[in-house]
Chain A
């Protein structure tokens, strides 16, 4: 969805290979030894727990991570190894492969004990019965509530969160002095600045509903209905009058060339870094690309297009424990007492710029105005639905939006057809 770069290419390659075998044999992965590749030395600075150290000699934990998170997880693992005598094998994998590999490998007993993952995998992981519950106990209150909520289903917690991410409006303060309240204000500000683009919004030919979601919500058309406790139910709410209004708005903006399917992630990021637009809608992962204009960035709430608050999705990153782990107790100990520490969560923040889920680490990160800005926008955000029905939504959502923007489908017809197609797919999957 975002950051489609060479990784996506490689991921697709790997997928093709696995397609050739139809998910058959176990893919071989290279176990990265703790010493290799981690550019930063991992100092075992503080002993993270006052609890008497356990003696886990002879126990082996396998943890799946990806490239960005390898170093901090390795640091936590080394502290854990030193304190307990257990051995932790870190396997660095391509992030895009982890979800499907975890689902296929856990039932065979060959999966890892722990894997990193995003909270919106939860529905699928639960439906496939591959993830174990985690009891955080008193530690629950140390985390940002939204992060725990994201990893919960039916009152059970299934993962240890470490980071919260969401998109916001990134503003070039030189080109626009004030934060725009509405979409039209933003376009007007851009016109005044005389830039090539108004608000940069990555769409691509298959659409990017994640980035466009806040604008959709501002019309009052969230994707699913929510229960009282904030969890989602498989009841579509993106249709109806608000949905059609959003679709009509998309068509209008597409016609006026304010939004275009030709704008991909790479094009948008490049244009913003070259100061060709005062605004871009995006997440903290973009910030590194704006190093040249780093001192003129501000993070603002996303301007409303339909009158209501433009609330983005929150994604929560965390760690899952395999349902078939042979070391469930040690794995839980590692996550709750060694990963859920201020030090490691802050290191993870530095590795990916995502706001820590542990409140203490989040406070520390907020000394950076960029992180504080994203965290401020996160207050209005809602967790991205993790129920299995969401998978069917992705299948139709972006393409329809792209078609409406490009004028290939009539807004109302296209949107209503999309809603009925999604409904049919959900009904079929039940």
Chain B
């Protein structure tokens, strides 16, 4: 987005017209078009946060790129800042927000939605009630249903309530008082043909168009069948058939009452309605629960044991992966940097191949190659041996490291080749003149210099491997599962794949997004601290030389 063709942007006028300005104008036109488009849709969908954010961003961009007043640095920084806000800061804040809630299975809704769901799912069809052919009717601004029962037509007026239990009008707006209900009663002189009621004296038939437009209202409309409030009411789910329903729950704004069994359920403060014995009813809703998710990994005995083991393996895995890939990469780079080696270009290209395949695909293929009975490695290379590569705890760890070495060394090879070629030839020359052996030159001159220039890459590689979910998930799915702990965690699980499993995001077990978010943040902190320490060490290394 930054227009780099211009170093000191001129004011636009005919005298200083340049092609750079045309390019800038086109780019900014695209950006503006996109921004206005997003603003427009956010406005239509009433997403005010997106609308506001996009508007501010757009104005800011136009100001920065079309004025000259001290905005030059901003021209370079602003796009990055915006993407940082969207892709990093927002995601972290959102995750943080979720981490303090009980968001997950059973706590997925807002409280109003939960109450509505509880009430509507406890509203059950009266047994043996057959469907009545039904037509919506109105009297003034009040609505009801007419149904055919045998040869007669019964009609009545009802009321509708929203999720929170407040009466609503036909436009789904909350009204202060529900209209008075008129129970179903036989209407003389009504006409119908087949299942369609054509006229009901005293009422008007609601036009279909109107019905469809206000279907949320009509889906909530209940017409009592008699004066007895416990007798149930008529509702429809398809606008053609009415059924008699009875609600077994009522809500008074604070408590839910099971009118059938006479049990009162109160808000238990944990996002559920519960009775006196603590038995909660589904569904619940999302609430703030503080640090509970963060402490669960350490205090819950099911998790605390495996958590430590997984953490240790995770650190070992990341460290060993970096070291092994770096050493192999460096060795190969050094070998193929020698001009005496023939066909270097071909070798170099071949060595890059593992890097060219998508990692998840390679991991899947390796898991097939390492299959105990049918894998290529056992069947062909080892002549039918039955080495449990992926099913024995330690061999599985070794396999994971081996596959990661295969996946990772080409990258290190590339980096090291670059670093070697960037070393000035006169340094080696000087070492030679000083009488250092080739080995000594390597360990005292070339090696340290390469380490300085590749240290940031090593740290980045450590962070990447620390969260190398793809490899673990595709190769072993974290297995083989520990047989001596109760949590569903295995020998090659790293923290992120363990979180994936125990927070139920894998689809097995109850989902707990709150726990998943909290643990992800813990992982983020670990990686951030390790990286910060690493970079500090690198700086020291640089100062030494």
A residues less than 8 Å from B125 (CB atoms) = 135, 155-156
Given A328-B219, A333-B238, A395-B509, the answer on whether A205 and B480 have CB atoms closer than 8 Å is: yes
A residues less than 8 Å from B117 (CB atoms) = 129, 323
Residue A392 at the chain B interface, CB threshold 8 Å? yes
Given A59-B212, A329-B238, the answer on whether A395 and B508 have CB atoms closer than 8 Å is: yes
Residue B373 at the chain A interface, CB threshold 8 Å? yes
Residue of B nearest to A327 (CB): B215
Once the chains are docked, how many angstroms separate the CA of A138 from the CA of B513? 41
B469 touches A19 (CB 8 A): yes
A324 touches B113 (CB 8 A): yes
Once the chains are docked, how many angstroms separate the CA of A391 from the CA of B506? 11
Binds B, one of A10-18, A215-223, A248-256, A275-283: A10-18
A residues less than 8 Å from B268 (CB atoms) = none
A residues less than 8 Å from B94 (CB atoms) = 21-22, 24-25
A16 touches B513 (CB 8 A): no
Convert A192-215 into 0s and 1s, putting 1 for each residue whose CB lies closer than 8 angstroms to a CB of B.
000000000000011000000000
Given A129-B108, A260-B373, A262-B372, the answer on whether A55 and B241 have CB atoms closer than 8 Å is: no
Q: Which of B95, B109, B215, B473 sits near A107, CB closer than 8 Å?
A: B109
Of residues 118 through 161 on chain A, the ones whose CB sits less than 8 Å from some CB of chain B are 124, 126-130, 132-135, 137-138, 154-156
Of residues 120 through 173 on chain B, the ones whose CB sits less than 8 Å from some CB of chain A are 120-121, 124-125, 130-131
Of residues 484 through 536 on chain B, the ones whose CB sits less than 8 Å from some CB of chain A are 486, 488, 496, 500-501, 504-511, 513, 516-517, 520
Convert B336-374 into 0s and 1s, putting 1 for each residue whose CB lies closer than 8 angstroms to a CB of A.
000000000000000000000000110010000001111
Residue A408 at the chain B interface, CB threshold 8 Å? yes
A residues less than 8 Å from B196 (CB atoms) = 52
Residue of B nearest to A110 (CB): B45
Residue A291 at the chain B interface, CB threshold 8 Å? no
Residue B106 at the chain A interface, CB threshold 8 Å? yes
B508 touches A129 (CB 8 A): no
Once the chains are docked, how many angstroms separate the CA of A54 from the CA of B95? 46
Once the chains are docked, how many angstroms separate the CA of A130 from the CA of B208? 28
Once the chains are docked, how many angstroms separate the CA of A362 from the CA of B108? 37
Of residues 285 through 328 on chain A, the ones whose CB sits less than 8 Å from some CB of chain B are 323-324, 326-328
Once the chains are docked, how many angstroms separate the CA of A126 from the CA of B108? 11
Once the chains are docked, how many angstroms separate the CA of A326 from the CA of B480? 47
Q: Which of B238, B483, B496, B513 sits near A409, CB closer than 8 Å?
A: B483
Tell me how many residues of B have a C-beta within 8 Å of chain A: 79
Majority-rule SS of B interface residues: mixed
Once the chains are docked, how many angstroms separate the CA of A104 from the CA of B516? 15
Q: Which of B130, B282, B390, B473 sits near A129, CB closer than 8 Å?
A: B282
B488 touches A395 (CB 8 A): yes
A residues less than 8 Å from B407 (CB atoms) = none
B residues less than 8 Å from A264 (CB atoms) = 371
Residue A31 at the chain B interface, CB threshold 8 Å? no
Given A16-B469, A56-B212, the answer on whether A129 and B113 have CB atoms closer than 8 Å is: yes
Once the chains are docked, how many angstroms separate the CA of A137 from the CA of B240? 11
Residue of B nearest to A428 (CB): B302
Once the chains are docked, how many angstroms separate the CA of A323 from the CA of B517? 26
Residue B209 at the chain A interface, CB threshold 8 Å? yes
Residue A176 at the chain B interface, CB threshold 8 Å? no
Residue B203 at the chain A interface, CB threshold 8 Å? no
Residue A336 at the chain B interface, CB threshold 8 Å? yes
B residues less than 8 Å from A135 (CB atoms) = 125, 131, 237-238, 241, 243
B474 touches A391 (CB 8 A): no
Once the chains are docked, how many angstroms separate the CA of A260 from the CA of B243? 54
A328 touches B114 (CB 8 A): no
B residues less than 8 Å from A48 (CB atoms) = none
Of residues 187 through 224 on chain B, the ones whose CB sits less than 8 Å from some CB of chain A are 195-196, 208-209, 211-213, 215-216, 218-219
Residue of A nearest to B363 (CB): A9
Q: Closest CB-CB distance, B458 to chain A, in whole Å?
A: 23
A133 touches B120 (CB 8 A): yes
Residue of A nearest to B373 (CB): A262
Residue A58 at the chain B interface, CB threshold 8 Å? yes
Residue A406 at the chain B interface, CB threshold 8 Å? yes
A residues less than 8 Å from B64 (CB atoms) = none
Given A22-B95, A126-B282, A391-B504, the answer on whether A16 and B470 have CB atoms closer than 8 Å is: yes
Residue B110 at the chain A interface, CB threshold 8 Å? yes
Residue A351 at the chain B interface, CB threshold 8 Å? no
Given A16-B469, A129-B114, the answer on whether A399 and B237 have CB atoms closer than 8 Å is: no
Residue A40 at the chain B interface, CB threshold 8 Å? no
Residue of A nearest to B285 (CB): A129
Once the chains are docked, how many angstroms separate the CA of A333 from the CA of B388? 56
B513 touches A107 (CB 8 A): no
Residue B239 at the chain A interface, CB threshold 8 Å? yes
Residue B397 at the chain A interface, CB threshold 8 Å? no
Once the chains are docked, how many angstroms separate the CA of A392 from the CA of B509? 4
Once the chains are docked, how many angstroms separate the CA of A155 from the CA of B126? 11
8 other A-B residue contacts (CB within 8 Å) besides A9-B364, A22-B95, A103-B105: A15-B506, A24-B94, A54-B239, A127-B106, A133-B120, A205-B477, A329-B212, A420-B486
17 contacts between A and B (CB under 8 A): A15-B505, A22-B520, A23-B505, A23-B513, A127-B106, A129-B109, A129-B117, A129-B283, A134-B237, A137-B241, A154-B124, A324-B113, A329-B239, A391-B509, A420-B486, A421-B486, A429-B509
Top 8 closest A-B pairs, CB basis? A129-B283, A262-B373, A129-B117, A128-B108, A135-B237, A137-B131, A329-B215, A395-B508
Interface positions of A (Cβ within 8 A of B): 9, 12-13, 15-16, 18-25, 51-52, 54-59, 96, 99-100, 103-104, 107, 124, 126-130, 132-135, 137-138, 154-156, 205-206, 260-262, 264, 267, 323-324, 326-330, 332-333, 336-337, 388, 391-392, 394-396, 399, 403, 406, 408-409, 414, 417, 420-421, 424-425, 428-430
Interface positions of B (Cβ within 8 A of A): 91, 94-95, 98, 105-106, 108-110, 113-114, 116-118, 120-121, 124-125, 130-131, 195-196, 208-209, 211-213, 215-216, 218-219, 236-241, 243, 280, 282-283, 302, 360-361, 364, 371-374, 388, 390-391, 469-470, 473-474, 476-477, 479-481, 483, 486, 488, 496, 500-501, 504-511, 513, 516-517, 520
